[in-house]
Structure 1
Amino acid sequence: MPNILTSLIGKQTLKYGERAAFSFKAEPQGKWIDTSWNEFSHKVDMAACSLEILGMEPEATVGVFSANRPEILITDFAAFANRVVPVSIYSTSSEEQVEYIVNDARINMLFVGNEEQYHIARKVQKRSRHIQQIVVYQNINLQPDDCRTMTFESFLKLGEAAGESCHEVVESRRSSATGSDLATLLYTSGTTGEPKGAMLTHDCFNAALDIHLERLPMLSDKYTSICFLPLSHIFEKAWTFFCLLKGMKVYINHDPRDIQNSIREVHPTCMCSVPRFWEKVYAAVQAKISRMNPLQKLLVKRALKVGARRNLDYVRLGRKVPAWLAAQYRFYDSKVFAPMRKVIGIEHGNIFPTAGAPLSANIVEFLHSCGINIVIGYGLSETTATVTCFPTVGYEIGTVGTVLPRIQVKLGADNEILVKGPTVMTGYFNKPEETANAFTEDGWFRTGDAGVIDDTGALILTERIKDLFKTSNGKYIAPQAIESRLGEDKYIEQVAVIGDQRKYVTAIIIPAFEALKEYARKKKIQYKSVYDLVNNSEIRRMIQERIDKLQNGFANYEKVKKFTLLPKEFSMETGELTNTLKIRRPVINRKYAHEIEAMYAQ
């Protein structure tokens, strides 16, 4: 099979021409501006020539460090044309994280989004022997001593002025591309906090796209999608590539904080997201229901009952809806569900793929009852996203769906989910030992997640075997890295980081009591017991300030937002520590459930 991504833009341009490929607005109050397939293709060709002119050879790596922008897609496809490897870096990454990825992936050219990312890139460039060129997507004032940075506009002009020989070189590279070529590196943190670059070949994407064409036949070029998750996230990256392959117009949302307004402006029919988005939708709807008068509440209650009966008992199972139930649903849909979907901005909704963390079965049932087709799935960076997802008919709520075509899943030791198939990565870049550990002897990828497979063949996630966890926003967190950093402080003895399936990261902290007592004496803080100390507002403020400083270098989503100080140490005797003095997370989560829930109370 030819590389789909290498030839995609050219083929779609011949088919769609002046039709909009994507739309974008740079400012919250601005207008959405369409870019046609013709213009998209022209910019990809210019960028591809620019990469060649600037010395990017096949297999070279270029970094993309930016929030969502159309330029990311132009850069990616220009790289594919040259057999160059784009490496995505989260726009919220810290200077230390960017530097690690730049050095590990040997990034020669770094594309950055805005002024903040430019300044980080410049600091990294001064310490790294790899970065030779920085390209800034946004027009900003460059540092006076900077002679190795250009704007994206200037970058494109290089390619626009290129001669025929440059185009011939690019075309030669494009035509010689193979499925075994490395398409991209996607870095995912390990339990030690050191990122690992998952190597995804073009064959991985060829298979993933082909599988989704088969699994999602309900989609066509009549639909639209909004790009909401970061394009550095495999879920959004693969989904956006799929949308372009289907000819679906993509609205590229720049600022995640503006997503609700964006949805109401563009009314997408599709959107991939993480559970946290739908949790917020559910909370907002429930809050509105709570403010209704008794008659309105009764109407909603009856509507939900009819919606569940129609959508879950009949439509979900592929059964014909009885005429009487269909009539009731049309009434309640017009009076309750359709207005609600319109307020959200999804009145024309088709499917809404959701993954990254578990979403409550109650919320899934509620959304489906309201006519919002949430498609729950499961996947990883290492598997080019989706491994399982809800089928069109027969999905089971409480599961993450059934296995996709040509993907194999089985359960290993401790019910670990093992995956094999053409979408699985070839390994971790520059990490042979980690690669070996990631696979069984007979070639199955170890996900680190545990689960069970029910009678229908659907996968149910039960727990994470590895300590690495995700927040409800789909961000990976390596707790040991945070715990080790905080443990460096003289006032902190032990730390247990919390955050799996939560909105943000918190911590249970055991202070170094003698150091704390000394601090209290110096500050003339009165106390009778250790309990008084851990509840003293001045001491809590001091600990907070020290935590803030200690977390410099971590990305914002990794930082501890709230903490609880306990008056007694973790111990082996109470089961909180192992014999090797490692913390037992399940015990701590269970024993301090009240304190943990208090840190997430609104």
Structure 2
Amino acid sequence: MDYHRLFDLFSYQEARFPNEAALAYKRQGQRLSFSTTDCLHKINQASAFLLRLGLKPGDRAAIIARHGSPFWNFLDLGMQQIGVIVVPLHATSGLDELRFILQDAQVRVCFTDTEDLYTSIRSLQTDTVLEWAIPFYPLPEINPSVLELLEDPTVEELAAIGTLRESIVASALATIIYTSGTTGKPKGVMLSHQNIISNIKSTIALLPVNCDHQTLSFLPLSHIFERMVVYIYIAVGASVTYAEGQEQLLSNLREVRPHFITAVPLIIERLVEQIMAHARKGPLWRRKILQWAIQLGKNYYDGKRQPLAYWLRLTLARILVFNRWRKMFGGRIEGIGVGAAALNPELGRLFSAAGLKIREGYGLTETSPVIAFNRFEPGGSRFGTVGLPIPGVELRIVNPDEEGVGEVQVKGLNVMMGYYQQSESTQAVMTEDGWLRTGDVGQWVHKRFLKLKGRQDDMFKTGAGKFIAPEAVEKHLYQSEYIQQCLVAGASKPGPFALIVPRFDKLEEWCRAQKVHWTAPQFMVLNPKVQRFFKQELERLNQGLPPYQQVQQFLLLHEAWTEHTGEMTATLKLRRKKILATHAKSINELYS
């Protein structure tokens, strides 16, 4: 048996790897699980419920949830097998963005997982064609939930589901996923079953996960990255447990003891911060050992022969420090896949030195999503790159400069059907010979590994006539433990400047050590001694950059950029134009 449509996956699992705990989650402190057979039954219940609402093939239905859940999967696959188009919504989206998507996609029903999301969606009903808002779980004084409404299909309903299921071909539209809209209104990316299935089959052999493994999912399923990876878990028969939330992540890791997880760099950074914060509470000798181990780990190179003395020190570091890190992750981690943003190479080396193999990949919503990925086998990874193109995906660098840097273009079965109701936008990103213009700039390094330099639209030309990809400079600046967020710009300026949000916990430690009086962050960013310290920190970091990329001017900010303030997208990308516009006056004063 094989699978050609996404809703075939659980039938494939039942035939090949039946699992007594295929999907699991925790609710109100209790762990609940569903076998493969249970999942198939729930998916049919979801399809029958949707048919009773009057939905028909081609209609759009949305799901918005803060956390992953088996019910997300039941609704997702229940919609798909009767031809209803799934429209995932990001829980961090603002009301204006949600209103636009609901109206643009003409969504008839939306399912939510929390009371605040339910209230937000209900408030948009008068502005859109939305007919129903239904929560996953029972909520006080709110109509019945999905949990209460899912009932066994009748014989007639099962027959109708079967007929609709058989009529759906692999090339049919499965889902519309709206992009984060960094440069304007969101665009609906149309992905077929074939688009996503091709990506599953190209990626499945690259991940160290099988039917004997436990996995933990904690990224939102509204992102194609996590959604596709969960489809892979189902295809190989692995058990999937959904985390309670990022606040409970460490406790969930210890409880589930997963063999494989996926993450975004920000979560990895937060986990390291939690580990460091825990260690800082200990005695001085323990902190010194931790600092020594971390510095040692940052010099680790996977697959590269190191001197015997280094391996002896690393073995000692693993005994004293890193084995505890592995236990914090459950003790069984065989791999961590990272995507959505650039991973600091030092973090990659550090985790790998600790025995937590972390591999960075690259993709777009428009490519279902994976384009390239660092391998887990020896010689298949390079820190600082996004890896090798995956099987079945062609990749080329167009119009490279003298350093081999040019636009990344992609071709394969994973490339989207197009943007929903936006034929001009679709034509703009497709070449005449059928390649997708990713808008990313990159180059080949180590002969076959792709290294990204940044977004083509984000590149700027300084007053000295030099083109700069800001993301590459930002990644370098993130090596400082005192920088939480930064944005590099400098179009038509003498050189690049940086907007910096300090890590205030680390800055407070520095202030106490230097006997600098600590007050509120909005005052500390103006403190002359703090300003002088950051100037020295940038001078240190500049030594690792070519002269034309060195940051000479900077502005310290006291408030972090978040998706809630509209300065970051739902996928945690900076809305550069908005941030620069907000601080335009202060930026101009830097050069006055």
Provide the TM-score with structure 2 as the length reference: 0.74
In the alignment, what sits opposite 2:13?
A: 12
1:377 matched to 2:361? The reply is yes
Equivalent positions of 1:392-407 (< 5 A) are 392-394=377-379, 395-407=381-393
Please give the per-residue CA displacement for 1:340-390, whole angstroms capped at 9, x wherever unaligned.
211x22421111000111111111111111111001111111111211111
In the alignment, what sits opposite 1:63?
A: 62
- Alignment equivalent of 2:321, drawn from 325, 336, 361: 336
Report deviation, 1:293: 4.3
User: C-alpha distance in 2, partners of 1:552/1:360?
Assistant: 24
In the alignment, what sits opposite 1:186?
A: 177
1:279 matched to 2:269? The reply is yes
1:466 matched to 2:434? The reply is no
In the alignment, what sits opposite 1:438?
A: 429
Q: Secondary structure at the match of 1:25?
A: strand
CA RMSD of aligned residues (A): 4.2
User: C-alpha distance in 2, partners of 1:110/1:459?
Assistant: 39
User: C-alpha distance in 2, partners of 1:499/1:426?
Assistant: 38
Work out whether residues 310 and 329 of structure 1, in 8 Å CA contact, stay in contact via their aligned partners in 2: no
Report deviation, 1:138: 2.0
Letter in 1 for 2:438: T
Report deviation, 1:87: 0.7
Q: Secondary structure at the match of 2:260?
A: coil
Does 306-315 or 255-264 show the bigger shift? 306-315
Report deviation, 1:562: 12
1:498–1:416 CA distance, 2 compared to 1 (3 A):
same
Work out whether residues 182 and 200 of structure 1, in 8 Å CA contact, stay in contact via their aligned partners in 2: yes
- Alignment equivalent of 2:211, drawn from 207, 213, 221: 221
User: C-alpha distance in 1, partners of 2:106/2:21?
Assistant: 35
Q: Secondary structure at the match of 2:457?
A: coil
Letter in 2 for 1:83: G
User: C-alpha distance in 1, partners of 2:502/2:176?
Assistant: 27
Work out whether residues 266 and 345 of structure 1, in 8 Å CA contact, stay in contact via their aligned partners in 2: no
Pick the structure with greater CA Rg: 1
Please give the per-residue CA displacement for 1:94-135, whole angstroms capped at 9, x wherever unaligned.
22222111111111111111221222222211221x222222
- Alignment equivalent of 2:398, drawn from 387, 412, 420: 412
Work out whether residues 2 and 178 of structure 1, in 8 Å CA contact, stay in contact via their aligned partners in 2: no
1:283–1:154 CA distance, 2 compared to 1 (3 A):
closer
User: C-alpha distance in 1, partners of 2:27/2:112?
Assistant: 15
In the alignment, what sits opposite 2:86?
A: 86
Report deviation, 1:282: 3.1
Work out whether residues 5 and 169 of structure 2, in 8 Å CA contact, stay in contact via their aligned partners in 1: no
In the alignment, what sits opposite 2:132?
A: 133
Equivalent positions of 1:66-77 (< 5 A) are 66-68=65-67, 69-77=69-77
User: C-alpha distance in 2, partners of 1:238/1:353?
Assistant: 12
Report deviation, 1:261: 2.4
Report deviation, 1:457: 0.8
Q: Secondary structure at the match of 1:313?
A: coil
User: C-alpha distance in 1, partners of 2:580/2:445?
Assistant: 38
- Alignment equivalent of 2:260, drawn from 270, 290, 304: 270
Please give the per-residue CA displacement for 1:385-427, whole angstroms capped at 9, x wherever unaligned.
2111112222111111110011011112471111111111111
1:502–1:259 CA distance, 2 compared to 1 (3 A):
farther
In the alignment, what sits opposite 1:514?
A: none
Unaligned runs of 5+ in 1: 144-148, 316-320, 473-478, 480-496, 505-543, 572-587, 593-602
Work out whether residues 135 and 155 of structure 1, in 8 Å CA contact, stay in contact via their aligned partners in 2: no
Work out whether residues 226 and 250 of structure 1, in 8 Å CA contact, stay in contact via their aligned partners in 2: yes
User: C-alpha distance in 2, partners of 1:332/1:297?
Assistant: 12
In the alignment, what sits opposite 1:482?
A: none
1:113 matched to 2:113? The reply is yes
User: C-alpha distance in 2, partners of 1:102/1:328?
Assistant: 57
Please give the per-residue CA displacement for 1:31-72, whole angstroms capped at 9, x wherever unaligned.
322222222221111111111222221222110012222211
Does 441-450 or 13-22 show the bigger shift? 13-22
Please give the per-residue CA displacement for 1:308-348, whole angstroms capped at 9, x wherever unaligned.
66854259xxxxx99x9988766653443212211x22421
Does 177-186 or 324-333 show the bigger shift? 324-333
Letter in 2 for 1:61: R
In the alignment, what sits opposite 2:333?
A: 349
Work out whether residues 303 and 336 of structure 1, in 8 Å CA contact, stay in contact via their aligned partners in 2: no
Work out whether residues 306 and 328 of structure 1, in 8 Å CA contact, stay in contact via their aligned partners in 2: no
1:362–1:18 CA distance, 2 compared to 1 (3 A):
closer
Work out whether residues 307 and 371 of structure 1, in 8 Å CA contact, stay in contact via their aligned partners in 2: no
Q: Secondary structure at the match of 1:97?
A: helix
Report deviation, 1:568: 6.3
In the alignment, what sits opposite 1:3?
A: 4
Please give the per-residue CA displacement for 1:417-450, whole angstroms capped at 9, x wherever unaligned.
1111111111110111111111122211111111
In the alignment, what sits opposite 2:37?
A: 38
Report deviation, 1:254: 3.6
Q: Secondary structure at the match of 2:220?
A: coil
Letter in 2 for 1:341: R
In the alignment, what sits opposite 1:493?
A: none
1:153 matched to 2:147? The reply is yes
User: C-alpha distance in 1, partners of 2:120/2:196?
Assistant: 31
Letter in 1 for 2:109: M
Report deviation, 1:84: 1.6
User: C-alpha distance in 1, partners of 2:387/2:569?
Assistant: 32
User: C-alpha distance in 1, partners of 2:244/2:304?
Assistant: 39
1:18–1:103 CA distance, 2 compared to 1 (3 A):
same
1:379–1:461 CA distance, 2 compared to 1 (3 A):
same
1:261 matched to 2:219? The reply is no
Letter in 1 for 2:383: I
- Alignment equivalent of 1:210, drawn from 187, 190, 201: 201
Letter in 2 for 1:20: A
Q: Secondary structure at the match of 1:372?
A: coil
1:292–1:341 CA distance, 2 compared to 1 (3 A):
farther
Report deviation, 1:154: 3.8
Q: Secondary structure at the match of 1:419?
A: strand
User: C-alpha distance in 2, partners of 1:191/1:276?
Assistant: 19
Report deviation, 1:567: 6.0
User: C-alpha distance in 1, partners of 2:260/2:500?
Assistant: 27
Please give the per-residue CA displacement for 1:250-288, whole angstroms capped at 9, x wherever unaligned.
111242332222222222111111001222233444556
Does 410-419 or 370-379 show the bigger shift? 410-419
Q: Secondary structure at the match of 2:240?
A: strand
User: C-alpha distance in 2, partners of 1:194/1:568?
Assistant: 28
Does 243-252 or 327-336 show the bigger shift? 327-336
In the alignment, what sits opposite 1:359?
A: 343
In the alignment, what sits opposite 1:425?
A: 416
Letter in 2 for 1:405: P
Q: Secondary structure at the match of 1:382?
A: helix
1:120–1:503 CA distance, 2 compared to 1 (3 A):
farther
1:500–1:298 CA distance, 2 compared to 1 (3 A):
closer
Report deviation, 1:452: 0.6
Work out whether residues 307 and 329 of structure 1, in 8 Å CA contact, stay in contact via their aligned partners in 2: no
Work out whether residues 173 and 191 of structure 2, in 8 Å CA contact, stay in contact via their aligned partners in 1: yes
Identity percentage over the alignment?
24
Q: Secondary structure at the match of 1:38?
A: helix
Work out whether residues 311 and 368 of structure 1, in 8 Å CA contact, stay in contact via their aligned partners in 2: yes
Work out whether residues 276 and 503 of structure 1, in 8 Å CA contact, stay in contact via their aligned partners in 2: no
Provide the TM-score with structure 1 as the length reference: 0.73
Unaligned runs of 5+ in 2: 401-405, 460-469, 476-486, 488-496, 505-557
